[in-house]
């Protein structure tokens, strides 16, 4: 199944899309079947509330964070046949404050910052991974590299510039370093993304050492049952990860 088809399918089966699907069905049958229509409408409202609860978002994200913080020692420095892979997470397109040029997204910046810390400790080659979509002029990895050099003062050895999703990142990184004898990677990405990302790179034959970062809070909060837009966004992000992970399991 193509990536575009999967993306379209995701729009309708994950929140908030699934809620609109239910409401649309309720509208269509409202005259012929008012009672089922009312039931579907109320179900949609309940779904919206559940998906928008911080409690739901936190539990879903926490269930994805299965890889703990990586423990680094002096023995890890300069490991043979190893490299650091930092995955891009989107761009801030045509940023007006930067002269309308593309910059990396906040999520990508978080990964770069932690990747720079790992790089300073391990002194290993760095691979930045991220391509471009549609008519975007510059690959994400190139933009990431500009920041690594100008802000973090770290030189990057390899740029993977062709991928547009996690699956392609694993494939393209493997192609990029196929003749470099790199077998072990320290994979840098958000903790909620690591479960799927590590699996993708494992399937390409790498020994993956997860360098998880950006952990979501796991402690209870006073507003756990108070719905919010940010909680809905986090729930959608977590369900997207499960959707992509389950598809990976079915197709590998």
Higher pLDDT, 41 or 1: 41
| Residue 239, CA distances (Å) to 128, 242, 247 in order | 26, 5, 12
Q: Are residues 148 and 183 in the same domain?
A: yes
Is 179 inside any structural domain? yes
Q: Are residues 238 and 133 in the same domain?
A: no
181-209 per-position pLDDT tens digit: 999 999 999 999 999 999 999 999 999 99
DSSP state of 96: G
CATH number for position 84: 3.40.50.620
pLDDT for the residue 205: 97
Number of residues that make up the chain: 252
The answer to whether residues 209 and 186 touch, using CB atoms and an 8 Å cutoff, is yes
37-89 per-position pLDDT tens digit: 999 999 999 999 999 999 999 999 999 999 999 988 765 788 889 999 999 99
Is 132 inside any structural domain? yes
| Residue 189, CA distances (Å) to 60, 69, 88, 130, 198 in order | 17, 11, 8, 12, 9
Q: Are residues 202 and 113 in the same domain?
A: yes
pLDDT for the residue 219: 77
Spatial distance between the Cα atoms of 240 and 84, rounded to a whole number of angstroms = 25
pLDDT for the residue 144: 98
Is the pLDDT confidence value at 36 over 90?
yes
Q: Are residues 19 and 103 in the same domain?
A: no
pLDDT for the residue 74: 63
Q: Are residues 87 and 27 in the same domain?
A: no
Is 149 inside any structural domain? yes
Cis (ω within 30 of 0) for the bond into 16?
Answer: yes
Spatial distance between the Cα atoms of 190 and 6, rounded to a whole number of angstroms = 22
DSSP secondary structure, 165-176, as one string: SHHHHHHHHHHH
pTM, rounded to two decimals: 0.93
pLDDT classification of 22: cutoffs 50, 70, 90:
very high
pLDDT for the residue 252: 80
Strands (E), the chain: 82-87, 91-95, 101-104, 126-129, 158-160, 184-190, 207-213
Is 232 inside any structural domain? yes
Q: Are residues 247 and 144 in the same domain?
A: no
pLDDT for the residue 186: 97
Is 69 inside any structural domain? no
The answer to whether residues 93 and 136 touch, using CB atoms and an 8 Å cutoff, is yes
Q: Are residues 146 and 51 in the same domain?
A: no
Secondary structure of residue 220 in the 3-state scheme: coil
Is 237 inside any structural domain? yes
Is 220 inside any structural domain? no
The answer to whether residues 124 and 186 touch, using CB atoms and an 8 Å cutoff, is yes
134-145 per-position pLDDT tens digit: 776 799 999 999
Measure the CA dihedral 31/34/38/41, to 10°. -30
Report, in angstroms and rounded to the nearest whole number, the Rg of the chain calculated over CA atoms: 21
Spatial distance between the Cα atoms of 160 and 175, rounded to a whole number of angstroms = 9
Q: Are residues 78 and 159 in the same domain?
A: yes
Domain boundaries, position 245: 3-64+225-251
Q: Are residues 151 and 55 in the same domain?
A: no
Measure the CA dihedral 169/172/174/179, to 10°. -150
Please tell me the total count of domains within the chain: 2
Spatial distance between the Cα atoms of 169 and 183, rounded to a whole number of angstroms = 16
pLDDT classification of 217: cutoffs 50, 70, 90:
confident
Q: Are residues 21 and 96 in the same domain?
A: no
Q: Are residues 120 and 167 in the same domain?
A: yes
Closest to 181 measured CA to CA, from 251, 239, 240, 125: 125
Is 209 inside any structural domain? yes
Q: Are residues 154 and 242 in the same domain?
A: no
101-158 per-position pLDDT tens digit: 999 999 999 999 999 999 999 999 999 999 998 776 799 999 999 999 999 999 999 9
């Amino acid at each position: 199944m193509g990536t575009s088809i999967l993306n379209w399918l995701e729009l309708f089966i994950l929140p908030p899309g699934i809620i609109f699907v239910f409401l649309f069905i309720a509208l269509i049958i409202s005259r012929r079947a008012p009672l089922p229509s009312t039931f579907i409408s109320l179900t949609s409202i309940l779904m919206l509330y559940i998906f928008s609860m911080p409690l739901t978002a936190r539990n879903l994200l926490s269930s994805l964070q299965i890889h703990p913080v990586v423990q680094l020692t002096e023995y890890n420095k300069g490991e043979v046949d190893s490299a650091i892979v930092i995955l891009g997470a989107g761009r801030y397109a045509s940023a007006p404050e930067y002269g309308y040029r593309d910059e990396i997204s906040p999520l990508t910046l978080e990964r770069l910052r932690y990747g720079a810390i790992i790089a300073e400790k391990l002194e290993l080659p760095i691979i930045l991974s991220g391509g471009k979509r549609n008519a975007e002029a510059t690959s994400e990895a190139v933009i990431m590299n500009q920041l690594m050099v100008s802000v973090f003062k770290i030189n990057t050895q390899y740029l993977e510039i062709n991928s547009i999703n996690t699956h392609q990142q694993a494939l393209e990184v493997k192609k990029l370093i196929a003749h470099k004898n790199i077998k072990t990677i320290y994979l840098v990405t958000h903790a909620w993304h690591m479960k799927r990302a590590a699996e993708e790179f494992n399937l390409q034959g790498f020994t993956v050492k997860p360098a998880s970062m950006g952990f979501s809070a796991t402690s209870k909060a006073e507003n756990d049952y108070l719905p919010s837009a940010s909680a809905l966004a986090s729930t959608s992000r977590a369900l997207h990860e499960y959707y992509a992970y389950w598809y990976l399991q079915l197709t590998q």
